[in-house]
Structure 1
Amino acid sequence: MNFIVTSPFYPENFQLFTNRLKKQGFTVLGIGQEPYDQLSANLKSDLTEYYKVNDLENVDEVKKAVAYLYFKHGKIDRIESNNEHWLNLEAEIREQFNIPGNKPSDLKKVKYKSEMKKLFKKAGVPTVPGKIANKKTAVKRLVKELGLPVVAKPNSGVGSSATYKLIDDADVDKFVAEWDEKEPYFFEPYIEDARLLSFDGLIDQEGNIVFETGLYYKEPTLEVIKRQGDFGYCIQKQMPEKLRKYGHAIVEQFGMKERFFHIEFFEDGDDFLAVEYNNRVAGGYTIDMYNFANHIDLFKQYARVVAGLPFEHSDIPNQYCVALSQRDQFTYVHSDADIRSHYGNRFVFSKRMPDGFAELQGNQFYGILADTQEEVEDVFNYIHQRVEQ
């Protein structure tokens, strides 16, 4: 099978995706905008061919690259990056070259937040109510209906990009003044003090969930960005049964196949409110944290799913994996050496965050395993303890 990987170089931790496809027996072809010499020796070895384009955002240029690879290597069986940024591009490529997988018409339900809400309701899952605005004149009316504070986010958008928390009328006026109306915005109530968590996993070729996990954030993302607070989340050892039930209902309703998914919820008392369906694995180093927590290799298992083989589960009991970071502008009580020594073999991951993610996720990222909720709290407290100024 010929498998095109979009942007095989970036992000760095996704380079294993190419490697696992090759090990499964695929002919892996890469399309990216980095010069070939910039690729690591391992990545060069894993790729049968690499086609450099000037700009991956240029759909016509990428289509020419696919046509060339099709002509040289034969039928293209898959194209995928597992990166949300390239979902639209890959859907267009699949449609033009008749490649299995999501086409542009399939993405409406996972691209637009207003459409997601409809499917959450069809699945019988509680959701945060929302309203869409196409013009400035509608904003104040919608905010009045929903009540302050509200969150305003692009109806079609990635993560927390261009998302605002509007607390009072001054915030609303500022938003209205600055919004250029080029993209519709979706407004929903801000759920105060609600824990943000997720139900995540992998779907096989028949639409069945073959792997499931999830995480919860220490603090809401918008609050972390606003205060430049300490970022952290934890891979759960066991999913709440009600959350798991909701997650399965949503996956069935969305009808995706052969894909990772990342569904976000707010914890609301003893219930959960669906917020957003992401048609890919959670971003950043989260897939690495999933691997550590579940003692598994998810890119390897994804390659098996694409090959039509059964998912291989680990025999080792899963653990919590605490993912958290420190920021360069703060002084912490415990240094990198302290952390490594303190946690010993529970210390499993350490990376500098790329500058583009540092505002949200901090600068120095860690992964620490834990067996109990008490140990989880100890990790957060120990690594985030700052020197008093």
Structure 2
Amino acid sequence: MIEYYDFLLYATASAVVFNKVFFPALDPLVGTVASLGTFATGYLARPLGGVLFGHFGDLLGRKRVLVATMTLMGVSSALIGLLPTYRQVGALAPIGLVLLRLLQGVAVGGEWGGAVLMSTEHATGRRGLWAGFTNAGAPCGLLLSTAALAGTGALLGERAFLDWGWRLPFLVSVVLLGVGLFVRHRVEETPVFRALDRTGPRRLPVRDVLRHQPRVLALGVGVGLSSFVVQSTLTTFVVAHGVQVGHARQTVLNALTLSSACAVVGILGWAAASDRFGRRPVVLAGAVVAGAYGFVLFPLVDSGSTALLVVALVLGQGVVHPMLYGPLAALYSELFRAEHRYTGASLGYQLAGLGAGFAPLLFAEVQRATGGRGLTLVSLVIAGTCLLTALCVLALRETRDPLPLP
């Protein structure tokens, strides 16, 4: 939750704040595209973080690496809160923003795999549910970050919020970092890692993944892609689009906050369902439902009704997206062998995560190029990624069997 508070705070801020603070000289639509472009850089860095921290996580242990990733994330987020604006230092401001976003991406790229393995490799049963708690950290972080931005904006007002108030949620990262490090130092290393034979020659985990399980890695990327596209559509693109079509920013943020709370319940529910029915059936059903939902989402948002906006986000985040996302944590950890599981799970997940980084940017550019009339194309892209997920799920074996020890 703490790690994703930092990472997704940036996502929400890029949709409603950064275009005005770091790109004020641009047309509003172009400024939104530029702002979401900096958001995408974090996702570009995530596979690098997965390989880097996955390497040390497979060789040195899950716990040590998780302490390092949290520290890097907390410091990077706090520094974003201290960045000067475009009006103060010109082009240096967005350059600094991109560099810190890259560090955030490296950190979260190594974070997810270790956190999931802490859950799955300690679990003695109901592995989908326990791993689901890790994935539920993402909407918890989004809930916390959106509430922080919305609450700060409501308390300070529009002018003060854009002048300096947006910095406060980022600076809070220092406090959350202290809490997170306290928790992490008290967690034991996983029994699976302790059982690994590390007396042989030094291994290169990423080479082992690419040599021994390339097909599994490729299919894993396809399975996760639609989940990330749907997630970023709901939490980033729809936020920016909703403001552009006339909804008040505070209204959109409030709806996003409510839907994030529903997402926690949905993720845990579908993760638990995958323990009973299997990972494949739940994700396959989610792909079908999400593909159809892409054509319903935007008419609800564009209706102008606050109630329908809330319905669109709550349904999307609370029911549709969790069908795709809930089982993923257990599924990725179950796909790879223990000796390179941190690297394999991280790399597969983070490569799929590129969809979340580039979908809002692509969709915003479509909107700009078509004068706001390209939503059908956006829905078709969402449906296409869902079709890819369905095909990849069908090509994979069921992974609900006991997690193999070394």
Please indicate, yes or no, whether the TM-score normalized by the shorter chain is above 0.5.
no
Relative to the length of structure 2, the TM-score reads 0.25
Q: Which has the higher contact order (CA 8 A, sep 6+)?
A: 2
- Which structure shows the bigger proportion of residues in helix conformation? 2
Instruction: Specify the structure having the higher radius of gyration (Cα).
Output: 1
- Which structure shows the bigger proportion of residues in strand conformation? 1
Relative to the length of structure 1, the TM-score reads 0.26
